[in-house]
Structure 1
Amino acid sequence: MHKVTKRRLLQLALAVDAAGALMPVGVLCAVTRQPQPLLTAVLAGAAWLAVGALKNRYTRDELAGDNAAIPIVWDWLIMLGVLSVVFVAGRVEVSLEVCVLALLPCLALSVVRRKLVHRYLLAVRRRAQALRRALIIGEAGAVDKVCALLAQRTDHEYVVVGSCLVGAEATESALPVLARLVPDADATDAVLDGETVLRCAAELDAELVFVAPGRQLSAARVRCLAWALNDGGRDLAVLPGLIDVSQHRVRLANAAGLTVMHIDHATRRGLPVLLKQATDRLGALLLLVLLSPVFVAVGAAIRLSSTGPVFYWQIRMGQDLRPFRMWKFRTMVVTADLMRPALESANEHDGAMFKIRRDPRVTRVGRLLRRFSLDELPQLFNVLAGHMSLVGPRPPLPEEVERYDAIELRRLSVKPGLTGLWQVSGRSDLSWDETVALDLSYVDNWSYARDIGVLFRTVRAVVDGRGAY
């Protein structure tokens, strides 16, 4: 991240957090005639900033990180505990109810600030701003793979500006190769690695060095490189070779001097899963009741505009390849399934999915329903019946599943969802590979908090309508 951007974001974070705690506490304590409103406000502001600092919320990685709200909630609960101890020890008389109520705004403001900063950084990164220049070191094949993966996405802060390759193997990357390190290094070569890499990093003005370990880049060699980079003031990041593993599944340990990275199992049972199931059933029931007038209006519009039934069902494949009958509002002519073979050549989607932007089978009302995803609402009955979840991968057709490979089949290890990462990330505008990658990310890294985030993002995706056809 650019130094100016980092400084401004840090100043913003500190100002928002301090004001969010100081002002509401001071005002509410004064209005309710608490004995020491100014002291209480100062202690609250100091406690909130101190907890944030101790939890590293103001570091560069945190300021440029994700927008998860759960860590901030935990920080807020810790702050309440800290303040309770301080108030008792300092004999500060303040009503507990007033204090908790006055501290709610700082929680809300910090969450909103975190999300807005995240959104701002995503926007500026797409314009190639607020990026960290990185030099990458490794064997040619590993370097090419890392560069290709980083080039596919714009939601990260790294831009690789050059490489130092181990060995003489040719690279497919267009990056400038500033130096080549000897493949079979002894202790002297390992020390020289550091000098070479520091010189190359300085030449490219790279603040970060990526290391892609391989057969020719031993742990002892990386250790010597880390010493040199530490002394030279350059950051080091080691790429472990893992793809799309969420941070909450990673645990670091130490054994005989080795850094051991434990990858926790994907969540499939326990309290979080029970909570998800309860949310699915209760949420579906509540939405069906609240949206009953919408069901009546949509049903009337379909019957009045075209011949045929209001509802349409298809056999879809659910969790563990169990077929189920999925319900939707009918958006096509009644002969749509018979017309599909003639339209196969017009398919605009790659992979196993069939999509046509201007599908001639879609009715006028159906096009409007698809634009705002109203045709999906009857799937709430599927959620209530346990066939689907509120959030999950897209439910595929049996003929699509027949074309899946072993990796794509993993999408069906959880219940399909009424909404999901596919729906909030562009829907039909995404390629098949992007769709599979999003679904696999959800399957492997699921969390209850992530589900809640997807549900909130769904509202924005429905209003936006991008990729809905």
Structure 2
Amino acid sequence: MLVTTSGSIIDERLLPLGENDWRTRHSRRLALVDAFVVIWAVIGAYIGRFGYTTDPLASDHEFAYVLLSLGLAIAWWFMLGAWNSRHSRILGAGPDEYKRVAAASLWLFGLVAIVSYVLRVDTARGYVAIALPVGLAGLLLARWLLRQHLSVARQRGGSMSRLLLLGGPSAVAHLASSLYRERHAGYLPVAAYTPGGSGDVTVEPDSSLPILGHATDTASVLEAIEQCKADAVAVSAGVQLHPQTIRHLGWELAARNIGLIMAPALTDIAGPRIHTQQVAGLPLIHVTTPTLEGGQRVAKRLFDIVVSGILIVLTAPLMGFIAILVRADSKGPVLFKQDRVGMEGRHFQMLKFRSMVVDAEARLSELQHRNEGQGVLFKIKNDPRITRVGLTLRKYSLDELPQLFNIFAGSMSLVGPRPPLPREVEAYENDVRRRLLVKPGLTGLWQVSGRSNLSWQDSVRLDLYYVENWSLAGDLVIILRTVRAVFHSTGAY
């Protein structure tokens, strides 16, 4: 048995060994699913263009499209393989798999268009207009479903790559905790190796990983790999190995078909900000500075105005109905106005439907001893100040609908860090104040990652990650994930 830092137990019998492991099985499954989807797409395009016929050979024109459909399906399937969309390294986490599927499909149909133009072949537009979007949508949906299946298997301890962590003690502990937290990525740390470390330490205290050695030669590292049966080696920060030793280690790992992962000490930096450049044989990593200025700021503000305006119109009847329920349930105003701190420390009045009794703020001091929140947050699961209607409103985040007016007016954004109270900001450490570099949001990473169930440290980490790696595409993904989080009502109280 293996015990993680979170206390969960993993049955080692579920962990794959050797070449005939989950990678081979999952790649074969992907190949079969890809074949089914592309065949389904081209058949659907053929029927959509020419209709259903029992004798496709009756017409030379239709027979030509039968051959085209057969060739297109085969070429599509091979293009997906040529773009490495079934590579085990990209399966289960990150957008790279979807990008490769889309790129392979678009390149294929681009080539079809070029060949048709050069050879002056009259390809029916209706056929292409059906095959490409239907096939691409089907491929992406199938990949998403298979990813959910793989994620479930990984939560149970299967379909994981066994990882030996190579580096300094603190770096190994940080990398291990990060990988345990993101199990869907498919990496399971099974042991550590700390070159140049103390020979008396046999277990890493923070992650509880066994330390298999401290020597700085390649042979000792290879012996540790054999001992823990690792599928890959992650070289983290603080590793006390000569560059030539790491180079030799890479050659030896390649000969044994064992992966080598370089894990630099870059925390919460998104991929688009990282760029590599070869200088004198050294892969230098450049990290661009996050900015939200000029066109980006205008695009985000325009997006906020348009979407919040549409949502205000669409939800106006619902907000009217909620206002009647709030007024009928308890005495007091319908709306609750609270002083919050926005971008660059500017204060604003945040609007919410009142979900508590009128004297809720006055009763706060008598409930401090029941605080279940961490850090500067005040949270109580069964808060006696919440009204009957307010309980339902909070469960589905309906009490936050009036914040659409804050967004339309410009004091908030659709997506951003959680809007803090002034007393919370006063207790902020210097690093946490970076949350105030952007507008607070109606939703954000904190909303789709557990809401009130999050610890203070996780809440800060997610907010800072958003500030450092903002993008409009990322905002769209968070909004889509918010819908799911609201309906599940996880962590809402």
TM-score, with normalisation over the residues of structure 2? 0.87
Would you say 1:468 and 2:492 are equivalent positions?
yes
Structure 2 residue runs without a partner (length 5+)? 1-20, 53-58
- Cα distance in 1, alignment partners of residues 124 and 222 from structure 2: 58
SS in structure 1 of the partner of residue 362 of structure 2: helix
Of the candidates 89, 99, 116, which is equivalent to residue 61 of structure 1? 89
Counterpart pick for 2:111 among 75, 82, 88: 82
What secondary structure sits across from 2:358 in the alignment?
coil
Amino acid in the other structure paired with 1:451: D
8 Å Cα contact 1:134-1:207 kept in structure 2: yes
Change (3 A) 1:149 1:67: closer
Q: Any residues of structure 2 matched to 1:29-428 within 5 Å, and which?
A: 29-31=49-51, 35=62, 36-67=64-95, 72-73=101-102, 75-169=104-198, 170=201, 171-172=204-205, 173-182=207-216, 189=217, 193=218, 195-214=219-238, 216-428=240-452
Q: CA deviation at 1:311?
A: 0.8
Residues in 2 aligned to 1:4 and 1:457: alpha-carbon distance in whole angstroms: 31
User: 1:355 aligns to what SS in structure 2?
Assistant: coil
Alpha-carbon RMSD across the aligned residues, in angstroms, is 2.3
Distance (whole Å) between structure 2 residues aligned to residue 273 and residue 70 of structure 1: 26
Cα distance, 1:55–1:445 mapped onto 2, change above 3 Å: farther
TM superposition shift of 1:73: 4.8
In 1, Cα distance between equivalents of 2:211 and 2:450 = 36
Greater CA deviation, 228-237 or 299-308?
228-237
Q: Which one-letter code corresponds to 1:181 in the other structure? A: A
Distance (Å, rounded) in 2 between the aligned partners of 1:71 and 1:403: 45
Relative to structure 1, is the Cα distance of residues 273 and 30 closer, same or farther in structure 2, using a 3 angstrom cutoff?
A: farther
**Segment of structure 1 superposing worse, 157-166 or 287-296:** 157-166
Structure 1 residues 215 and 368: alpha-carbon distance in aligned structure 2, compared to 1, 3 A threshold: closer
Q: Describe the SS at the equivalent of 1:424.
A: coil
8 Å CA contact retained: 1:134, 1:208: yes
How many aligned residue pairs are there?
459
Q: Report if aligned partners of 1:25, 1:37 keep a CA contact under 8 Å in 2.
A: no
C-alpha distance 73-277 of structure 1, shift in aligned 2 (>3 A): farther
Please list every run of at least 4 consecutive aligned residues from structure 1 whose deviation after the TM superposition is greater than 6 angstroms: none
Task: Give the drift of 1:14.
Answer: 2.4
Report the identity percentage: 37
Report the CA distance shift for 1:337/1:121 in structure 2 as closer, same or farther (over 3 A).
same
User: Which residue is 1:6 aligned to?
Assistant: 26
Q: 1:326 to 1:350 in 2, by over 3 A?
A: same
Whole-angstrom CA distance in 2 between matches of 1:118 and 1:381: 38
Q: Which residue of 2 aligns with 1:19?
A: 39
**Aligned residues of 2:304 and 2:408 also touching (Cα < 8 A):** yes
Q: Is the 8 A contact 1:70 1:449 kept in 2?
A: no
After superposition, what is the alpha-carbon deviation per residue over 1:271-312, rounded to whole angstroms, capped at 9, x for unaligned?
Answer: 444332222111001011111110111011111111111111
Q: Is the Cα contact below 8 Å between 2:83 and 2:100 reproduced in 1?
A: no
1:259: how far off?
A: 0.7
Distance 1:157 1:124 in 2: 10
CA drift of 1:13 comes to: 4.6
- Structure 2 match to 1:186: none
CA contact (8 A) 2:85 2:100 kept: no
Moved more, 65-74 or 223-232: 65-74
Mean Cα deviation higher: 38-47 or 369-378: 38-47
Contact 1:318 1:412 in 2 (8 A): yes
Deviations 1:162-217 (A, max 9, x none): 223212423425322333314xxxxxx4xxx1x33233222322110111243622
> For the residues of structure 2 that align with 1:215 and 1:163, how far apart are their CA atoms?
11
Given that 2:23 and 2:88 are in contact with CA atoms closer than 8 Å, whether structure 1 keeps it comes out as: no
Q: 1:127 and 1:219 mapped to 2: Cα distance?
A: 38
Give the superposition deviation at 1:158: 1.0
Alpha-carbon separation, structure 1, partners of 2:125 and 2:317: 43
SS in structure 2 of the partner of residue 387 of structure 1: coil
| Aligned partner letter, 2:213 | A
Hey, what's the Cα distance between the residues in 2 that align with 1:144 and 1:457? 30
- State how far apart, in whole Å, the 2-side matches of 1:367 and 1:88 are: 63
Measured in 1, the distance between the counterparts of 2:33 and 2:428 equals 46
**AA partner of residue 45 (structure 1):** A
| Partner deviation per Cα, 1:3-47 (whole Å, 9 max, x = no partner) | 354334432452354235423222223329975322332344345
CA spacing shift, 1:74–1:452, aligned 2, 3 Å:
farther
Hey, what's the Cα distance between the residues in 2 that align with 1:215 and 1:429?
36
Q: Distance in 2 between matches of 1:267 and 1:52?
A: 35
**1:91-110 per-position Cα deviation (integer Å, ceiling 9, x unaligned):** 44222244123321112112
Deviation at 1:409, TM superposition (A): 1.1
Point out the more displaced range, 336-345 or 13-22.
13-22
One-letter amino acid of the structure 2 residue matched with residue 131 of structure 1: M
Matched-pair contact (CA < 8 Å) for 2:84–2:100 = no
Relative distance call for 1:138 and 1:39 in structure 2 (3 A) is same
One-letter code of the match for 2:27?
Answer: R
Q: Distance in 2 between matches of 1:11 and 1:463?
A: 34
1:76 CA drift (Å):
4.3
Is the alpha carbon distance of 1:25 and 1:390 closer, same or farther for their aligned partners in structure 2, counting shifts above 3 Å?
same
CA contact (8 A) 1:140 1:166 kept: no
Hey, what's the Cα distance between the residues in 2 that align with 1:115 and 1:435? Answer: 27
Q: Is the partner of 1:209 in helix, strand or coil? A: strand
Contact 1:383–1:389 at 8 Å: present in 2 too? yes
Q: CA shift at 1:140, angstroms?
A: 3.1
Q: Distance in 2 between matches of 1:67 and 1:137?
A: 27
Question: d(CA) in 1 for partners of 2:343 and 2:376?
Answer: 18
TM-score, normalization: structure 1?
A: 0.91
Q: Supply the distance in 2 between the matched residues of 1:285 and 1:63 (Cα, whole angstroms).
A: 38
Question: For residue 185 of structure 1, what is the aligned residue in structure 2?
Answer: none
Which shifted more, 286-295 or 115-124? Answer: 115-124
